[in-house]
Structure 1
Amino acid sequence: MLDKTEFQPTEEKTNLIIKGSVKLFDVYKIPIDRLRYNAQNGRIATWISEYENEHGDLPTDQEQFNATIEGYIYDAGPDTLNATKNNIEKFGQQEAAVVLSNGILVDGNRRFTALRRLSREGKGQQFNYINAVLLPDQDYTTKEIKTLELNLQHAKEEPVDYSPVDRLVDTYRDLIGPNKSFEPKEYAREIDSTEKKVKDEMRVVQLLVDYLDYIHHPGQFFVARQQKLDGPLREVDKILKSRKLAPEDYQDAKDILFASMVSMTGDVTRKVRGMSSTILNPHTLHHLADELDDTLNDIEDSFSGDRIAESSSDATAAVIDVPKRVTDNLVNIVDQTVDREKMKNAEKRPLQDTSKALDLLRNIDSKALEHCSDGDKKQISTLLLGLDKQIQKITSELNVK
């Protein structure tokens, strides 16, 4: 346990919002070897998930634990970490961290990482210490500490540099998971957002949870990070929340979209977006569901092996090990259906444009024409002559008997 009497106070003081009010706290100079990373830090949520999947529980030895987390903090944002490290080396620590009396950092993991590295490199004794507020952990609930963390993150002018998927996982922990601490309304207040935006984000998070269940990897959030699923999931959400999708078609649409995310390569976000009109057309959706029935079953069967393989084209991107013949078949069927839908839409476009043009002409107010200037009337007359010529041209091309 850390006690304020052990450490040298600095001349710095800082304000924190805690327990609903602003308080002024002293800042102390604390040896970095007394501190421990916060394993619940949202910035590395998927990395922790990956470690626990491969190795089980995190190390209990403090230095092994810190070394493991340090590696993940670096991997999550090496450029940002190096910039922080260079800045601290040149100008010193400019912003105080926040530490609990049990040694866990509430805020300042990146500063702590930079100091650890500078200390190991022998850059100077001053880097063996971190300037931090010290809070007695017994005085605050887990929710109060998390609220403080949210306030510190969202009070900064620059956005927190989470990966998109790590941010989703942090939202899952706070609002959906078994140990959730917040309701949407209060969470929105703490992050200076709206309840609607928070609920929209929760819907995407639930899709992430559902997708991992679909591929038989529940809770293994690192898969989503490796597959870069934030963009595709948001496109899936836009489709599934559409009023054009009948409730009875929801599950078929969801299964087809999830299977497509497993099977597609390249710009999956763009490809899922391109499926929107096909999925939202009941006729084409039902046709696609019938065409893909056996393929979807094959994909589901492949998940039972519970395997994650590395893509041969990109060793950093994990893919679910579905036989290529199966994914190729799904992609071909989806592409053909989407292309047919695009062709039909293109065929209907002239009729739609002509109808719109007629509606616009009908909406012209004849009384308003009376008040137009002579110059405007001449321009309108010229445009109508051009319009008449275009109508005659289109009529001749139609060749209607």
Structure 2
Amino acid sequence: MNETQRREQLKKIIEESEPISTGVALRYQGETKRVCVYRIPLDFLVYNKYNGRISSRVKAYERLNHELNSENDEDRELIEKLLWESKVERNRKTMEDLVENGQMRHGIVTADGVIIDGNRRASLLNRAYRERDKHKWSPVDVDKCRYFNAIILPQDAGPRDIQQLETTYQMGEDDKLDYNPIEKYLKVRDLTDVGFDIDEIAKMMNESTADIKKWQRTLVLMDEYLETLGYEDMYPMLDRVEDQFLSLSKGLKDWQDRSVLAKANWEYSDADIDDLKVIAFDYIRYEQEGKEFRRICKPGKEGSIFQDRLIWESFRDTHFETMDAIAEESVDEEIAHAHADIDVVDVLRARDSKWKSEISDSFKNNLKYSVRRLDDRMEDAKPKEILKKVRDLLKEIDTEQDSFLNDEGVATLVSEINRMTYRLKRELGQ
């Protein structure tokens, strides 16, 4: 059924059918209206492909395949699959409840049949009816699953009205916690694109204006990260690293504004900040978490490696040496070599996993060593404490390893340490 046919069918329902509810409150175009809820055959409706639950997955699919069309049967099935996989266990329970008790919460649809609020419930109703024989549900119980109870918006509802309703009824309510974290960043951008300002977006999403500004700034960084890796629009690749981006965004802003200049012992340049961002991107890909990640980039009480020039330059140079030694297939090559049935997100995650296994030891050791140096520097450790740590580290060296005996660099370092200890002994008068 095309857009014109759906519009005619919904118009007919309004004109000829008895509503199942009247006087239902709807905040629309700046005022609260009292409207009706109608029983609509699901065949008259199509999904909103950019629904807040699956927007990131849809954008990733469209980036590498084709633009989804909700009227196309194959694309409709893909949208249903993404909605189902967004919360499988909860969806299964909700589907069973819909069969047993019916639809308890109405949705909202446009005049031409696009579902604005209720995509998940509509998909579960469709699924329940299709799978009625599999679950051995009685015809009486499952017959109601052919219909969707919803408010039908006026013909004059434009993109701004639709975005506002979708946001208010989905991401401005308690169940917004069910949404993937990245979806709120994309929603803020969608709302900005249709002309809403910061204050309006904050009100719709029931968030502070400070958070909305933070999300806007952070999404710019997320997009830059994806572009750097060749993962443009592959937003599911950000599923597990929101906190790292928030820390990096705040840290970069502070360093760029020079608002924390007193914490640094050097006059860093914008090029140095760019190096910091590149290295932080690599540690985000590595999925370095929490406190350890913040020690790279975020000024604070615990200190950032970036604030100390000597420690930072050593950390930076070691990092880039590690990265220069790694050779990866391009993203296009990885995708081309993958089986056609494998989700591209899984292909990219496997690519990242392989990369992490190659750089893990170097990343871990470089960060650990640099943080330890920074802690020593910040604590202004006493000579005795530093010497104890050096002694303990020397004890850990395995002199049986071939690398100890055959690496010329080891001999050079031993000679340098010997000279340093000789100088210290002279200072002590020994």
Q: TM-score range by the shorter chain?
A: 0.7 to 0.9
Pairwise mapping of residues 2-401 of structure 1 onto structure 2 (< 5 A)? 2-3=10-11, 4-59=14-69, 61-122=71-132, 123-136=141-154, 138-175=155-192, 179-225=193-239, 228-242=240-254, 243-244=259-260, 246=268, 248=270, 249-262=272-285, 264=286, 268-269=289-290, 271-276=292-297, 277-296=304-323, 303=330, 307=334, 316=346, 318-319=348-349, 321=351, 328-329=358-359, 332=362, 335-346=365-376, 349=379
CA contact (8 A) 1:10 1:27 kept: yes
CA displacement, residues 109-153 of structure 1 (integer Å, 9 cap, x when unaligned): 1110121122223342111111100013x4122011111112212
Structure 1: distance between partners of 2:78 and 2:332: 29
How far does residue 348 in structure 1 lie from its aligned partner after superposition? 5.1
Q: Identity over aligned residues, as a percent? A: 22
* Secondary structure of the corresponding residue to residue 233 of structure 2: coil
How far does residue 319 in structure 1 lie from its aligned partner after superposition? 3.2
CA contact (8 A) 1:165 1:229 kept: no
Pair 31,322 (structure 1): closer, same or farther in 2 beyond 3 Å: closer
TM-score, normalization by structure 2: 0.70
CA displacement, residues 223-251 of structure 1 (integer Å, 9 cap, x when unaligned): 334xx232332232243233447562321
Runs of 5+ in structure 1 lacking a partner?
Answer: 353-399
CA displacement, residues 172-228 of structure 1 (integer Å, 9 cap, x when unaligned): 3333xxx45322222112223222111011122111111011112222223334xx2
Structure 2: distance between partners of 1:144 and 1:32: 23
TM-score, normalization by structure 1: 0.74
CA contact (8 A) 1:16 1:148 kept: no
Pair 52,269 (structure 1): closer, same or farther in 2 beyond 3 Å: farther
Pair 338,62 (structure 1): closer, same or farther in 2 beyond 3 Å: same
Structure 1: distance between partners of 2:328 and 2:347: 22
CA contact (8 A) 2:295 2:371 kept: no
Structure 2: distance between partners of 1:183 and 1:299: 44
Structure 1: distance between partners of 2:334 and 2:248: 24
Structure 1: distance between partners of 2:216 and 2:198: 9
How far does residue 164 in structure 1 lie from its aligned partner after superposition? 1.2
How far does residue 167 in structure 1 lie from its aligned partner after superposition? 2.6
* Secondary structure of the corresponding residue to residue 14 of structure 1: strand
RMSD of the alignment, in Å? 3.3
CA contact (8 A) 1:99 1:107 kept: yes
Task: Give the paired residue count.
Answer: 342
* Secondary structure of the corresponding residue to residue 9 of structure 1: coil
The code of the aligned residue for 1:251 comes to D
CA displacement, residues 290-314 of structure 1 (integer Å, 9 cap, x when unaligned): 333454556698657564588xxxx
Structure 2: distance between partners of 1:197 and 1:300: 39
The code of the aligned residue for 1:206 comes to V
Structure 1: distance between partners of 2:325 and 2:210: 38
* Secondary structure of the corresponding residue to residue 23 of structure 1: strand
* Secondary structure of the corresponding residue to residue 50 of structure 2: coil
How far does residue 278 in structure 1 lie from its aligned partner after superposition? 1.6
Farther off after superposition, 274-283 or 324-333: 324-333
Q: Which residue of 1 aligns with 2:300?
A: none
* Secondary structure of the corresponding residue to residue 318 of structure 1: helix
Pair 302,124 (structure 1): closer, same or farther in 2 beyond 3 Å: closer
Pair 304,127 (structure 1): closer, same or farther in 2 beyond 3 Å: closer
How far does residue 343 in structure 1 lie from its aligned partner after superposition? 4.2
How far does residue 317 in structure 1 lie from its aligned partner after superposition? 7.2
Structure 2: distance between partners of 1:97 and 1:218: 33
Farther off after superposition, 157-166 or 332-341: 332-341
How far does residue 31 in structure 1 lie from its aligned partner after superposition? 0.3
Farther off after superposition, 74-83 or 50-59: 50-59
